[in-house]
Structure 1
Amino acid sequence: MQDFVFQNGTKIIFGKEKENLVGQESAVFGKKVLLHYGGGSIQRSGLYDIVLQSLKNKNLEIFELGGVQPNPRVSLVREGIAICKENDINLILAVGGGSVIDSAKAIAAGATYDGDVWDFFTGISQVTDSIPIGVVLTIPAAGSETSAGTVITNEEGWYKRAMGHDSLRPKFSILNPVLTFTLPEYQTACGITDMMAHILERYFTNVKNVELTDRMCEATLQTIISNAQTVLEEPTNYDARAEIMWAGTLAHNDLLGTGRIGDWASHNIEHELSGIYDIAHGAGLAIIFPAWMKYVYSHDVNRFVQFANRVWGVDIDWNYLEKTALAGITKMEQFLRSIGMPIRLSEVDINDQHFEEMADKATEDGPQGNFLKLTRDDIVEIYKIAR
């Protein structure tokens, strides 16, 4: 196990009707709030009215910016930054899922910076401060409600890039599982895949003697797996929704990565996919992660055997460990397919036209991954496996 520092300053407020507390929590940071959200779902569900009334009850001045898309765009981020600078906004309140929260984080960082916000995503500049962020979560998936990171897409070149800073962790996040009852099945399944991928990026490590976090990763994965079918078949099952929602937060609040070095190649390879084709991030991960596994498993067969045995219950064939490792990957693919996820690029009508372009973009700053360093040619092969 490696040395580490763990600190997560996000206040989690979990449970039924907790969205009614948003005004109280927001008022701590000042009088001016930028309410940031996506399309019309929060209006249709009634959540918009609840949030607005709670903010008004605390006499807060409310500015609004809707229109966040999946794979959020830097152009809207720039609009939000302008609003914040012109009106001295004290808090950005993100009401939605990971895309809305990521957009809010980018706005928060850019609002205290004199240059262009994209500088943070290209490494030209580093975040040093940001406007405080609050969250009312509606989609358990990205874990952005407690993480320090954000991912934004630039329409110029369709680059999808990540950056992070501890100041970008939301000050508070309100999690009410009831708010997820009306999520479409596909969106729920994409979220389940995303949170599983966050755990797997940490699980596949070269660091030895990380038994505790191995077990924590495995337990969280098993909890997600055991509740996935329930939330899809019984969308208003509060207990199952609560398990999934909390698992999504734990998957990406950095606790499961303590003492170990994660990989993150699959996420970055997928970013090029959804950057160009604008597919759901979770769907892209369902396609890329098994392909990555098939390409790298021989680097540490024992870890893949452990994954197969502890997570999927595959009996270990001590005479043929490779067989066990591959069986675990197959089990994962079967699970993803069972919740309605694609596991091949052909299933989402993506051909090999942009394989080399995506691999070039993924490796512009060098090889990808830590479990096994992947070059441009390696990434092309992974796209080919995923066909």
Structure 2
Amino acid sequence: MQDFVFQNSTKIIFGKDQEQVVGQESVVYGKKLLLHYGGGRIKNNGLYDTVVKSLHDQGIEIVELGGVKPNPRVSLVREGIALCKEHDIDFILAVGGGSVIDSAKAIAAGAKYDGDVWDFFTGKEAVSDCLPIGVVLTIPAAGSESSSGTVITNEDGWYKRATGHMKMRPQFAILNPVLTYTLPSYQTACGITDMMAHILERYFTNEKNVELTDRLCEAALRTIIHNAHTVLEEPTNYAARAEIMWSGTIAHNDLLGTGRIGDWGSHDIEHELSGIYDIAHGAGLAIIFPAWMKYVYKHDVNRFVQFANRVWDVEIDMNNPEKTALAGIKKTEQFFSSIGMPVTMKEAEIGEEHFEEMAKKATERGPLGNFIKLYEPDVYQIYQLAK
């Protein structure tokens, strides 16, 4: 087990009607707030009115910026930064899912920086400070509500890149499973895939003697798998929605990665896919992760055997461990397919015309991953396996 420091200061406020306390939680950080959100869903379901009333009840002045898209764009981030500087904003409240929260984080960092915010995503500059952020979560998926990272897409070249800093962790996150009842089933399934991928990135490690976090990862995966079909078939099942929502947070709040070095190659490979094709991140991960598994499993067959057995209940074939490992990969692929995710490029109507370009862009700053290092030819082969 690696030495580690674990510190996650995000206050989680979980349960029914908790969005009504957002004003009380926000006023602690100032009286001028940027309210950041996506489209019209929060206005149609009444959440917008509830949030605005709670903020106004605390005497908070609101500046609004809507319009966040999936795979959030740096152009809107720059617009938000300008608003924060113009209005001397104290605090940013993100009401939405991972895209809204990631956009808010980038705005929060850029508001404290004199240069262009994209500098943080190219590695030209490191984030050193940012405005405080709060969250009302509406889509359990990305785990951004208590993570320290953000991912933004630059329309100039369609680069999708990540950055992070401990100060990017939201001060609080309000999680009400009821707010997820009206999510389209496809969006719910994308979220399920995304949170599973966050766990798998941590699970496939070269670190030995990490039994506790192995078991925590396996328990979280099994919980998501157990409840996935229930939330898709019974959208208003509170118990199942609550399990999924909390699992999404646990998947990416860094607890499951303590003492181990995760991989993260699949995420970087997928970022090129959704950067160019604007496919939902979860759907892209459903395509890429099984292909990555097929490409790397021989590096540590025993870890894939453990995964197959403990997560998917595949009986271990002592005479042919490779057969067990491959069965676990197949089970993963079948599960993604069963919840409506594409598991090949063809299913997502994506051709191979950009494979070389994506492989080159993915690795232009060096090899990907930690389980095994992936260079441009490796990434290209993974795209081929995902066809």
| Superposition TM-score tier, normalisation by shorter sequence | over 0.9
CA deviation profile, 1:141-175 (whole Å, cap 9, x unmatched): 00000000000000000000000000000000000
Whole-Å separation in 2 of the counterparts to 1:363 and 1:384: 16
Whole-Å separation in 1 of the counterparts to 2:45 and 2:297: 44
- What amino acid does structure 1 have at the position aligned with 2:25? E
Whole-Å separation in 2 of the counterparts to 1:62 and 1:351: 45
Cross-structure match for 2:261: 261
Secondary structure (helix, strand or coil) at the match of 1:68 reads coil
Cross-structure match for 2:291: 291
CA deviation profile, 1:98-150 (whole Å, cap 9, x unmatched): 00000000000000000000000000001110000000000000000000000
Cross-structure match for 1:93: 93
- What amino acid does structure 1 have at the position aligned with 2:101? I
Cross-structure match for 1:63: 63
> CA offset at residue 235 of structure 1?
0.2
CA deviation profile, 1:2-31 (whole Å, cap 9, x unmatched): 000000010000000000000000000010
Whole-Å separation in 2 of the counterparts to 1:124 and 1:220: 36
Paired residues, what number? Answer: 387
The 5 Å alignment of 1:165-244 reads: 165-244=165-244
Cross-structure match for 1:246: 246
Whole-Å separation in 2 of the counterparts to 1:264 and 1:334: 22
Cross-structure match for 1:368: 368
The answer as to 2:311 corresponding to 1:328 is no
Whole-Å separation in 2 of the counterparts to 1:120 and 1:385: 32
Q: CA RMSD in A?
A: 0.3
> CA offset at residue 38 of structure 1?
0.2
Cross-structure match for 1:16: 16
Secondary structure (helix, strand or coil) at the match of 2:332 reads helix
- Which ranges of structure 2 fall in alignment gaps of 5 or more residues? none
Whole-Å separation in 1 of the counterparts to 2:298 and 2:127: 38
The answer as to 2:316 corresponding to 1:344 is no
Secondary structure (helix, strand or coil) at the match of 2:347 reads helix
Cross-structure match for 1:353: 353
- What amino acid does structure 1 have at the position aligned with 2:316? I
Q: TM-score, normalised by structure 1?
A: 1.00
Cross-structure match for 1:312: 312
Whole-Å separation in 2 of the counterparts to 1:348 and 1:228: 21
Secondary structure (helix, strand or coil) at the match of 1:345 reads coil
Cross-structure match for 1:377: 377
Whole-Å separation in 1 of the counterparts to 2:209 and 2:257: 13
Secondary structure (helix, strand or coil) at the match of 2:360 reads helix
The answer as to 2:146 corresponding to 1:119 is no
Cross-structure match for 2:148: 148
Cross-structure match for 1:75: 75
Provide runs of 4+ in structure 1 moved above 6 Å: none
CA deviation profile, 1:69-112 (whole Å, cap 9, x unmatched): 00000000000000001111011000000000000000000000
> CA offset at residue 216 of structure 1?
0.1
Cross-structure match for 2:279: 279
CA deviation profile, 1:245-292 (whole Å, cap 9, x unmatched): 000000000000000000000000000000000000000000000000
- What amino acid does structure 2 have at the position aligned with 1:300? D
Whole-Å separation in 2 of the counterparts to 1:126 and 1:379: 27
Q: TM-score, normalised by structure 2?
A: 1.00
> CA offset at residue 236 of structure 1?
0.1
CA deviation profile, 1:169-209 (whole Å, cap 9, x unmatched): 00000000000000000000000000000000000000000
Query: How many percent identity over aligned positions?
Result: 78
Secondary structure (helix, strand or coil) at the match of 1:346 reads coil
- What amino acid does structure 2 have at the position aligned with 1:61? E
CA deviation profile, 1:312-341 (whole Å, cap 9, x unmatched): 000000100000000000001111111000
- What amino acid does structure 2 have at the position aligned with 1:135? V
Whole-Å separation in 2 of the counterparts to 1:332 and 1:49: 41
- What amino acid does structure 2 have at the position aligned with 1:251? A
The answer as to 2:51 corresponding to 1:51 is yes
- What amino acid does structure 2 have at the position aligned with 1:12? I
- What amino acid does structure 1 have at the position aligned with 2:120? F
